[in-house]
Structure 1
Amino acid sequence: MNTADTEEFERFVRVSSPGLLRTAWLLCGDSHRAEEMVQESLERVYLRWGRVRRGGQPLAYTRRVLININTDRWRRSHKEVLTYDGSIDETPAVGGGWIEDRDQVIRLLRLLPPREREVVVLRHYADVSERDVADMLQISVGTVKSSASRGLSTLRAALSEQESQS
Structure 2
Amino acid sequence: MGATSHDEFRDFVAARRPTLLRAALLLTADRTEAEDLLQAALAKTYLAWDRIKDRTALDGYVRRAMVNINISWWRRRRLEEYPTDEMPDTPVADHTDRSELRDVLERLLDRLPARQRAYIRLRYYDDLTEAEIAHALGVSVGTVKSTVSRAMAKLREDADEEFAALD
Structure holding more helix per residue? 2
The structure number with the bigger radius of gyration is: 2
Could you state the TM-score of these two structures normalised by the residue count of structure 2? 0.48
